[in-house]
Amino acid sequence: MSDIAATTAESPARSPLAAEVSRRRTFAIISHPDAGKTTLTEKLLLFGGAINLAGQVKAKGERRNTRSDWMKIERERGISVVTSVMTFEFEGLVFNLLDTPGHEDFSEDTYRTLTAVDSAVMVIDAAKGIEARTRKLFEVCRLRDIPIITFINKMDRESRDVFELLDEIEKTLALDTTPMTWPVGRGRDFLGTYDVVNGGVRLLEGGGAKTGAAQQIEIEELAKLSANLDVSAVKDELELVTEASKPFELEAFREGHLTPVYFGSALRNFGVGDLLEGLGKFAPEPRAQDSDQRKVEATDPRMSAFVFKIQANMDPNHRDRIAFARLCSGKLSRGMKAKLVRTGKSMPLSSPQFFFAQDRSVADEAFAGDVVGIPNHGTLRIGDTLTEGEDFNFVGVPSFAPEIVRRVRLTDAMKAKKLKEALQQMSEEGVVQVFRPRDGAPALVGVVGALQLDVLKARLEAEYSLPVEFEVSEFQLARWVSSDDRKKLDTFIAANTSSIADDVDGDPVYLARNEFYLGYTKERAEGIEFTNVKDVK
């Protein structure tokens, strides 16, 4: 076992399951488009030797700027099946990197994926700082107190003041920072990073291409390397950083209050090794998951999993779907039977897809922390729990209030019933959310990313022969409404019928024209809670 893996071992006499679980690090990358997620992903995969996958990530990156039509969606979705989960091994650890779709394929899947990880890497463009998308994704992480490791990228270019960047993280995200490395030189004079914990400077040039590791020198030697560098100023700065930084505290990190910060350049494969090492050392192993009955420990030998994403095959001749399930406990092996708790029925897991990049010998098994793809014909829904027979449901795969709301217009009014069924299916699969106005008006659909609408339109046409158009509706916002006092809720609903709709579970949703209306209504609705996140039951 490697050094990293050894440091995480809690006791020498663990069961084989516990040993497998403790090797897992399941994480996602959160970032704003163009911060360098794709580039960093490629470099991380190179460390694990998953070079073929790295090529595919790139292919996706190159294509992503094209607006998707039917064929392109198909291609893009096809590729994202491959890139949904990327597994690589490094120094005895198994890293599961779950893809968080960005750019135009940003969708609710992006948010939901964050419910299936144990930690996240936040990539920040050094010239831009915290951007809108990063902040949103961070908020989703915070819902579950997911520990965050920060990678400040593009240090090879002009950046903002580094102290200011850290200050921004602390202030806007209410997240303490501990720099683990510190950049020496800036922009074109970026020479490398200082190891704040162990001392010594790692140089950008001369770092091995694969490892990014480090020709290590002492600060005094820097003067020989760059005439532009004021070595005494660098020394002063490093002294300040070392003295003034908050010490790294594992517990505060694990609770989501403190982030270790690494500096680097994904493009030049610099600092990526430090980041990966940090992930291995600090990121938690698969955590216990809450269910409606009990907390489920990852090392519990009974298999359990929940579905967080469903990928449809866009080929209309193949109605199969792949449900992505995160294993929460035990071991899943090919051919085993699982209980789908929602229906009480047993389903054979005859051909689950395992996502091992390297180690083929274990490709027929997955352990808590891993993600498996389960082919099915529409049986599985978002939020479904699979067990070895027990009756409990995992909680915490939420729905998120849509950012785009549209009314569905059917060109053939005779097919209204069929549309209703189709929309029900689509919302169960998490393609879009569907809201049925109480006043009987046509259904509204809500999404967080525009591509979801394209996918819905394409699938309704291909799978149900339903041509639909989307119209801008008078409503822009949707919030779930609830109250401890049932009477108050009923009164509120009765007074606002024309703005109330039911979601897929029949829970009431308040529709608002805009933020102003929403604020106005909220102020007057005493005892009513408006939420933009709802746990899927």
Q: Applying CB under 6 A, which residues contact ligand GDP? A: 31, 33-39, 61, 102, 153-154, 156-157, 265-267
d(CA 109, CA 448) in angstroms, rounded, equals 9
Whole-number minimum distance, CB 154 to ligand GDP, in Å?
Answer: 4
d(CA 5, CA 382) in angstroms, rounded, equals 33
Quick check: 381 and 342 in contact, CB under 8 A? yes
User: Whose Cβ is closer to ligand GDP: residue 43's or residue 457's?
Assistant: 43
d(CA 272, CA 264) in angstroms, rounded, equals 7
Whole-number minimum distance, CB 205 to ligand GDP, in Å?
Answer: 15
Whole-number minimum distance, CB 164 to ligand GDP, in Å?
Answer: 19
Whole-number minimum distance, CB 139 to ligand GDP, in Å?
Answer: 19
Whole-number minimum distance, CB 422 to ligand GDP, in Å?
Answer: 33
d(CA 433, CA 401) in angstroms, rounded, equals 9
User: Whose Cβ is closer to ligand GDP: residue 39's or residue 181's?
Assistant: 39
**In sequence order, which residues have a C-beta less than 8 Å from that of residue 12 and are 6 or more positions away?**
none
Indicate the SS3 state at residue 213.
Answer: coil
d(CA 415, CA 418) in angstroms, rounded, equals 5
d(CA 434, CA 359) in angstroms, rounded, equals 42
Whole-number minimum distance, CB 184 to ligand GDP, in Å?
Answer: 16
Whole-number minimum distance, CB 96 to ligand GDP, in Å?
Answer: 19
Whole-number minimum distance, CB 276 to ligand GDP, in Å?
Answer: 15
d(CA 254, CA 263) in angstroms, rounded, equals 21
User: Whose Cβ is closer to ligand GDP: residue 102's or residue 286's?
Assistant: 102
User: Whose Cβ is closer to ligand GDP: residue 34's or residue 297's?
Assistant: 34
Whole-number minimum distance, CB 449 to ligand GDP, in Å?
Answer: 14
d(CA 433, CA 113) in angstroms, rounded, equals 17
Indicate if the alpha-carbon torsion angle 423, 380, 504, 444 is positive or negative: negative
User: Whose Cβ is closer to ligand GDP: residue 61's or residue 396's?
Assistant: 61
User: Whose Cβ is closer to ligand GDP: residue 93's or residue 126's?
Assistant: 126
- Identify the CA nearest to 304 among candidates 94, 17, 101: 17
User: Whose Cβ is closer to ligand GDP: residue 122's or residue 501's?
Assistant: 122
Whole-number minimum distance, CB 37 to ligand GDP, in Å?
Answer: 3
DSSP-assigned letters across all residues of 5-37: HHHH---SS--HHHHHHHHEEEEEEEE-TTSSH
User: Whose Cβ is closer to ligand GDP: residue 210's or residue 246's?
Assistant: 210
User: Whose Cβ is closer to ligand GDP: residue 38's or residue 329's?
Assistant: 38
Beta pairing class for 258-263 and 176-179: parallel
* The token pair that represents 25 in the structure block: 């690090």
Whole-number minimum distance, CB 143 to ligand GDP, in Å?
Answer: 23
In whole angstroms, what separates CA 151 from the centre of its chain? 16
* The token pair that represents 310 in the structure block: 């469903």
- Identify the CA nearest to 319 among candidates 372, 375, 371, 374: 375
Quick check: 76 and 56 in contact, CB under 8 A? no
User: Whose Cβ is closer to ligand GDP: residue 154's or residue 479's?
Assistant: 154
| CA R_g for the chain | 25
User: Whose Cβ is closer to ligand GDP: residue 270's or residue 394's?
Assistant: 270
Whole-number minimum distance, CB 108 to ligand GDP, in Å?
Answer: 19
**In sequence order, which residues have a C-beta less than 8 Å from that of residue 202 and are 6 or more positions away?**
181, 192, 193, 194, 195, 213, 214, 215, 216, 274
Whole-number minimum distance, CB 34 to ligand GDP, in Å?
Answer: 4
Q: What is the DSSP letter of 67?
A: P
Residues in the chain: 537
User: Whose Cβ is closer to ligand GDP: residue 24's or residue 37's?
Assistant: 37
Indicate the SS3 state at residue 209.
Answer: coil
Beta bridge partners of 202: 193, 216
d(CA 194, CA 262) in angstroms, rounded, equals 10
User: Whose Cβ is closer to ligand GDP: residue 31's or residue 291's?
Assistant: 31
- Identify the CA nearest to 107 among candidates 353, 380, 308, 393: 308
Torsion angle in degrees (nearest 10) through CA of 143, 149, 152, 153: -100
